[in-house]
Structure 1
């Protein structure tokens, strides 16, 4: 989990992308959000999906 915690906050939000449509957005307050960009198979239109990341140190509270 150390690599998950490695991205640090900057003055403005930034993306860490894998080059295949998946990216981690890191906000000014160290909030992390996964973004997935893809094309809809039926229409070919661009689309995206986002999911908030939970801090791994808080896993005990999720059980």
Structure 2
């Protein structure tokens, strides 16, 4: 079983908190928005979900 991080670009405010908190560097900033460029590395810890004040990130189990 794996995890799929999803960023709602309309909600993302570009604060970079998810980039900073992710222990496996799933996220990178692209054009001022967070993108899960290494989604296959996601551990499902949801630390990114917790720090995202905009509520832009969800993690789905695959």
For the aligned pair, the TM-score class normalised by the smaller chain equals under 0.3
Q: Which has the larger radius of gyration?
A: 1
Q: TM-score, normalised by structure 1?
A: 0.24
Write 1 or 2 for the structure with the bigger share of strand. Answer: 1
